[in-house]
Amino acid sequence: MTGFHGGELAVQRQAGVRQDAARLSRMLEPADLSGGIAGFLAARTLLVITGRDATGRLWTSPLTGPAGFLEVRSDTELAVHAGVPAGDPLHGLTAGQHLGTTSMDFALRRRVRLNGTLTVATDELLIVDVEQAYGNCPQFIQQRLLTPATSSHETPEEVRRGAAFQPADVEVIRSADTFFLGTAHPQRGADASHRGGPPGFVRVDEQGLWWPDYPGNNMFNSLGNLAVSPAAALLFTDFTTGATLQLSGTARIEWGAAGRPGDDGHSGRIVRFELDRLVAARRPALRESAHRPYPHNPALTDREDRSR
């Protein structure tokens, strides 16, 4: 299946960007991993995946390894020489399901999304039959140099599971300048996308957490999925301490007047997330050695939330 699905088209129309998005529809044509994408993936040390656990719950997880742990084997096959470690909610990931992935080069502010079907899943190897592969714009990527993982089998430390935020979780969220969003469409499959902004761009209040949706490429892959299915998974990582926070729940788009308090990107859209389950841990492999904020991060527009 190619082209935009009904949810994406609906959000594009409501945002008034249907014609702009139509110009990018060729990006959704069948995948071709030859050429530049293969070289890009070969140098990466981090892959973020979105999939479902044994109960069908959606999660987004980080996989790490030395350069070369992502191997393009054909125009449509990606081999990931790493398994999901024990302690991660996607440990025991089963083959046959849709898998969404994003690979990042934070230093050069580049990212590639690859979505497809997981055909092999072991403790040391994942193989994905890729159906979509395309790059995304460099907007809102905070530059960082990441120390390569010393092992692809490092088990998360201090794993805590729950259904409500602890103060430490709120601190991770409010200090984050980056997170990953997992969504899924019943027929088209799972998707993993990147979100970035200044620290504090993700707010936490009595209703849950929310963030402004900044203007982007107008494809609305993630929000289009949410328009069809509210299942959502978030991954926050503190690249300094190695703390990770994985959230699973539901999300919805809230439309309103552009530029209202909290609508930092003046898009008229915020996304609200309601938590069902969380997993908090530390991952020794995820560390940064240098960091530079994206120079065009929007300013926070609600002082109340900024000060919380």
Are 147 and 200 in contact by the 8 Å Cβ rule? The answer is: no
pLDDT at 259: 92
Compute how many other C-beta atoms are within 10 angstroms of the C-beta atom of residue 3: 11
Q: Mean pLDDT over residues 107-119, rounded?
A: 95
> Is this prediction's pTM over 0.85?
yes
Least confident of 168-177, 280-289, 297-306: 297-306
Are 117 and 128 in contact by the 8 Å Cβ rule? The answer is: yes
Least confident of 19-33, 108-122, 198-212: 19-33
Least confident of 52-56, 148-152, 191-195: 148-152
Residues 6+ apart with CB under 8 A from 179: 194, 195, 202, 234, 235, 236, 237
Residue 223 belongs to what H/E stretch? helix 221-228
pLDDT at 304: 52
Asked if residue 248 has pLDDT above 50, the reply is: yes
Q: What is the DSSP string of 40-62?
A: HHHT-SEEEEEEE-TTS-EEEEE
pLDDT at 267: 96
Asked if residue 1 has pLDDT above 80, the reply is: no
- Give me the residues paired with residue 236 across strands: 179, 245
pLDDT tier at 156, thresholds 50, 70, 90:
confident
Q: Mean pLDDT over residues 252-267, rounded?
A: 95
Asked if residue 150 has pLDDT above 90, the reply is: no
pLDDT at 236: 98
- Give me the residues paired with residue 112 across strands: 103, 135
Tokens of 300: 């926070």
pLDDT at 151: 54
pLDDT tens by residue, 185-208: 999 999 999 999 999 999 999 889
pLDDT at 153: 57
Q: Mean pLDDT over residues 17-35, rounded?
A: 78
Q: Mean pLDDT over residues 150-172, rounded?
A: 85
Is 84 exposed, middle or buried, given 0-12, 13-18 or 19+ CB atoms closer than 10 A?
buried
* Nearest in space to 224 (alpha carbons), one of 256, 192, 185: 185
b/e code 13-25 from CB counts within 10 Å (16+ = b): ebbebeeebeeee
> Between these two residues, 141 and 150, which has the higher pLDDT value?
141
pLDDT tens by residue, 27-43: 667 778 987 899 999 99
pLDDT tier at 305, thresholds 50, 70, 90:
very low
Asked if residue 64 has pLDDT above 80, the reply is: yes
Asked if residue 216 has pLDDT above 90, the reply is: no
Rounded to whole angstroms, how far apart are CA atoms 64 and 154? 9
pLDDT at 54: 95
Rounded to whole angstroms, how far apart are CA atoms 130 and 189? 11
